[in-house]
Amino acid sequence: MKITEDNWLYVISPRKKLIDFNFKEIWRYKDLLFLFVKRDIITLYKQTILGPLWYLIQPLFTSLIFTLIFNNLADIPVNEGVPNFLFNLAGITAWNYFKECLIGTSDTFKKNENIFGKVYFPRVIMPMSVVVSNLLKFGIQLLVLLSFYIYYVGFAEPRYTILPQFNLILFPVLVVFMALLGLGFGMIISSMTTKYRDLTFLVQFGVQLLMYGSAVMYPMVYFKDKLPNYYWLIEWNPIAIIVESFRTMVFGVGDLDSNKLIYTAVMSCLIFLIGLVVFNKTEKSFIDTI
């Protein structure tokens, strides 16, 4: 009988190749992805009194504070014809999804050390499930935004005449960019923290700093007017572009910059791919260094 060497199902060997994804395998574990999502959703607010209301409280209060501090106190103007509060709420809603994806995935290895140390499944399922379960939270926050939008347009005195642009149909694409960016950065950070714990300290305040550079509580034009020398800092920040584009779509003020959107698309995919490569490299041996 001929010994066929190539009919092995798979070979476990030291990691040599840089890019080595087994998409078929990830597909086989899709049920696990959804079970993790379900777990996150049903267990997050167990034994809390307000439960999912926490999804609403956080963005509402943040927007309120932002309106008080940045608009009323510091007199930062928002886009013309847009209520201050709504402007902040839109920015925070978009920013929050990115932030939640980033923070939720940035400690993947450390948080799941226990389970990763015992069983094998494609590790990337874990951060992916975080991104998917955050979608629910994002959806709820969008509904909040929508209700305030309707209030300002239909019931507030004086009425606002803002109208979403037709290009709002591109909105899901923006969500994908945010997910890819959050996931990409999260995977890079989680991979590096397995060896160098310093990064855990960086993430918390780094995200805080990034928020100020991401046009969350001011329009990009205003920044350009006031600080033209530093404009490059935020001009090419993909998150800032996403947040700004989101507001442009919803409020119908200004135009979408297609060059910047293409740039953002390229950056998102790039960051995501780098994240995936680093993550894949780490998952094979992180259990020895964590």
Alpha carbon distance 27, 121 (integer Å): 11
**C-alpha separations of 36 from 31, 99, 127 in Å:** 9, 20, 10
By CB under 8 A, residue 69 contacts other proteins: no
Task: Give the residue with the Cβ less far from other proteins, 45 or 171.
Answer: 45
Of 119, 266, 247, nearest in space to 184 by CA: 266
Alpha carbon distance 115, 168 (integer Å): 41
By CB under 8 A, residue 116 contacts other proteins: yes
Query: DSSP letters of 86-128?
Result: HHHHHHHHHHHHHHHHHHHHHTHHHHTHHHHTT--S-TTHHHH
Query: Which among 3-11, 66-74, 216-224, 240-248 is the span making contact with other proteins, rule CB under 8 A?
Result: 3-11
Strands (DSSP E) along 151-288, which ranges? none
Binding test (CB under 8 A) with other proteins, winner from 20, 22, 28, 159: 28
| Rounded least distance, CB 117 to other proteins, Å | 6
> Is residue 25 within 8 Å of residue 113, measured between CB atoms?
no
By CB under 8 A, residue 159 contacts other proteins: no
Binding test (CB under 8 A) with other proteins, winner from 18, 24, 49, 120: 120
| Rounded least distance, CB 228 to other proteins, Å | 40
| Rounded least distance, CB 205 to other proteins, Å | 23
Binding test (CB under 8 A) with other proteins, winner from 20, 22, 39, 52: 39
Q: Which of residues 8-27 bind other proteins (CB under 8 A)?
A: 8-15
Determine the distance from the C-alpha atom of residue 281 to the mean position of all C-alpha atoms in its chain, rounded to a whole number: 23
Q: Which residues contact other proteins (rule: CB under 8 A)?
A: 1-5, 7-15, 28-29, 31-32, 35-36, 38-39, 42-43, 46-47, 114-121, 195-196, 284-285, 287-289
